[in-house]
Structures are given as C-alpha cells and as structure tokens.
Amino acid sequence: MSEGRRANRYSRLLEHIFFAHYIEGAREVPFERAELETAATTLGIKLPKNLGDVMYSFRYRSALPRTIIDTAPEGEHWLIRPAGSGKYRFEATAQAPLAPNPSYVETKVPDATPGLIAKYALTDEQALLARLRYNRLIDVFLGLTCYSLQNHLRTQVPGMGQVETDEIYVGLDRRGVHYVIPVQAKGGRDQLSFVQIEQDLAMCAHKFPGLICLPVAAQFMAGDVIALFTFEAGAEGVAISAERHYRLVLPDDITEAEIQRYQQRPDN
C-alpha cells in the first residue's frame, strides 16, 4: 500500500474516533485503542495488521488530520498521550513542538563508528543509536561516564501503560553519583515528542527510583548532523535544559582554528 493511501486510511480512523468523543471546547478527549477495530468496521476500512502503527504514526511521524487540528483552542495544538493500558487521550497544549534549532553552532567530533556498522545499519534510528554509542556522544554531551545498559526497553508504567525507550544508559560523575539516561532517537521522517520524554521520566521514577534521571533525545538533521537534547521537569511541564549539535568527521577535517574556537566556548 502506498504511503498516501495508508495515511488517508489512518486519518479516517482517527477522525472517526476523535469526533465520537469530542465536545466543543473540550481540552481532553479520551479514547481506547480497541476503538480502532469498531471504527474500521463502521467505515468499511480494512484494519491495519499492526494497530500500534496507527498510534505511532500520529504521535511521532504524521500531522493529525486538519479536521482535528482545527478544533484545538486558539494558540494550542493536540497531543496524543498514553492514559493506561490500551488507553489514550487527546490533550490540548501550548507546548511548542520538539525540534532542533537550526541556528545552533555545530561541534565536529572525530568519527569512531566502525566501518562495518556504518555500512550495514538497517534503519535511521539504529544508525543514530550506533553513532551515539561508538562515538560516546552521550558522555561528551552530558559530561558523564556512561554505559549502554539495554536497547528497546518495553515496560509497564502505572497510569500510562506500556512505554518503550530506545536505549537506556547508566552513568557516573566524578563524585560517584549514579544516573540513568533514557535515550529516544529519531531519524528519517520520525519526529521527537515531549510525550516520549514525559514517559521516560515516569519510567525512570518507576524502575530506577534511586538514580538521577537525565532524559536525552537525539535527532538526525540535514547533512547527518546529530542534535542532542536533555530535559528537566518543572512547574510548567517538561522543558529543554540543553541542546547541542554534533557532526562526525574524519580527524583531518577538524582544523586547529576550530579546536582553538571550541576552547573559547562557555561550558554551559
């Protein structure tokens, strides 16, 4: 099936579910994933084999249908948040979309990715995670000594249901303090989301309550530049606390002038 036909089918399913619950002026619209089955039957649409792909598409890849977007309160937009096992809710928020700032400076880092890994990485996400790991970019970004603990952790979080984290690191600082670092990675058309960061914070509080949680997000930019973010939770919700952009290059592609310029940068 073409990408356009899939997107249209997914949009019709989501529109049907949204407007079955939406009341004008509402800021939250709850629904359950099982409603995809009844919506498909009502609309005469062949149900996707992977129901999760419908939800993933609108949470991290595609824009919501215009008919849904237009119902959001002025100055806000809809996010789809988990609300328990198999449960979700549309929620209106003024929080800006999570995307790299194109005006940030780049830092060149000698590329230590093994050639075989670069050649055979199968997906953008896996290629990005591999580059983070082999170049120790999480260590460089956070200023900690970090070790990969587990890939693709899927677990149940109370009040949210199942959440998935692309990779979990544990880290150590010079004082001996221990950290847990959940990493979300996106490449291609996939987009980062503050919802994933909220889920990672909740997962860490549930699974690693004695460790300091430093959630990290990674995004491929144009020209294979890697944008890294870290976050903190405040009274207004999750916000970006730091952003850096890294370009992996051959060692000879870093000039002495660039090295000198990096030494003048503020350490913040």
Kindly state whether residues 116 and 89 are assigned to the same domain.
no
Does the residue 225 lie in any domain?
yes
Residue 7: band (very low, low, confident or very high) from pLDDT cuts 50, 70, 90: low
Which residue range(s) make up the domain with 254? 106-263
Closest CA to 218 of 179, 163, 181, 180: 181
Kindly state whether residues 172 and 238 are assigned to the same domain.
yes
For residues 229 and 100, what is the distance between their CA atoms, to the nearest angstrom? 8
Kindly state whether residues 178 and 201 are assigned to the same domain.
yes
For residues 72 and 75, what is the distance between their CA atoms, to the nearest angstrom? 8
Is the distance from CB of 83 to CB of 30 less than 8 angstroms? yes
Which tens digits make up the pLDDT trace of 43-61? 888 877 777 778 878 887 7
Does the residue 247 lie in any domain?
yes
Kindly state whether residues 75 and 119 are assigned to the same domain.
no
**With pLDDT > 90 as the criterion, what percentage of the chain qualifies?**
56
Kindly state whether residues 70 and 179 are assigned to the same domain.
no
How wide is the angle at C-alpha 24 spanned by C-alphas 19 and 30, nearest 5°? 50
Kindly state whether residues 138 and 255 are assigned to the same domain.
yes
Does the residue 98 lie in any domain?
no
Kindly state whether residues 133 and 254 are assigned to the same domain.
yes
Predicted pLDDT at 245:
97
Predicted pLDDT at 6:
54
Which tens digits make up the pLDDT trace of 101-114? 999 999 999 999 99
**Alpha helix segments (H runs only) across 75-152:** 115-120, 124-134, 137-142
Stretch 28-41: mean pLDDT: 90
Q: Which strand (E) or helix (H) includes residue 165? A: strand 161-172
Which tens digits make up the pLDDT trace of 235-251? 778 889 999 999 999 99
Which tens digits make up the pLDDT trace of 148-201? 999 999 898 888 888 889 999 999 999 999 999 999 999 877 888 888 999 999
For residues 127 and 146, what is the distance between their CA atoms, to the nearest angstrom? 19
Stretch 104-126: mean pLDDT: 89
Does the residue 116 lie in any domain?
yes
Kindly state whether residues 81 and 129 are assigned to the same domain.
no
Kindly state whether residues 213 and 115 are assigned to the same domain.
yes
Stretch 57-71: mean pLDDT: 86
**Alpha helix segments (H runs only) across 208-253:** none
Last residue of a domain, one of 41, 66, 93: 93
Stretch 25-31: mean pLDDT: 92
Stretch 74-88: mean pLDDT: 87
Specify the pairing of strand 145-157 against strand 106-110: unpaired
Predicted pLDDT at 224:
83
209 or 57, which is more confident?
209
**With pLDDT > 70 as the criterion, what percentage of the chain qualifies?**
97
Cα separations in angstroms, 9 against 13, 48, 209: 6, 9, 41
Highest mean pLDDT among 69-78, 85-94, 128-137: 128-137
Kindly state whether residues 40 and 159 are assigned to the same domain.
no
Does the residue 268 lie in any domain?
no
Kindly state whether residues 80 and 157 are assigned to the same domain.
no
Does the residue 101 lie in any domain?
no
Specify the pairing of strand 145-157 against strand 161-172: antiparallel
pTM of the model as a whole = 0.83
Last residue of a domain, one of 93, 120, 137: 93
Predicted pLDDT at 2:
45
Last residue of a domain, one of 68, 93, 118: 93
- Written as one string, the DSSP assignment of 13-30 is HHHHHHHHH--TT-SEEE
First to last CA, the chain: 48
Sign of the torsion formed by the C-alpha atoms of 32, 36, 37 and 43: positive
What is the number of structural domains in the chain?
2
Q: At what angle do helices 3-21 and 35-43 cross, to 10 degrees?
A: 110
Stretch 56-71: mean pLDDT: 86
Q: What is the DSSP letter of 254?
A: S
Kindly state whether residues 131 and 34 are assigned to the same domain.
no
Q: Which residues pair with 171 in a beta bridge?
A: 146, 179
Does the residue 99 lie in any domain?
no
- Specify the range with the lowest mean pLDDT, choosing from 1-15, 96-110, 114-128, 198-212: 1-15
Here the tokens at position 233 are 């939770």
Return the amino acid letter for 82: P
For residues 99 and 251, what is the distance between their CA atoms, to the nearest angstrom? 29
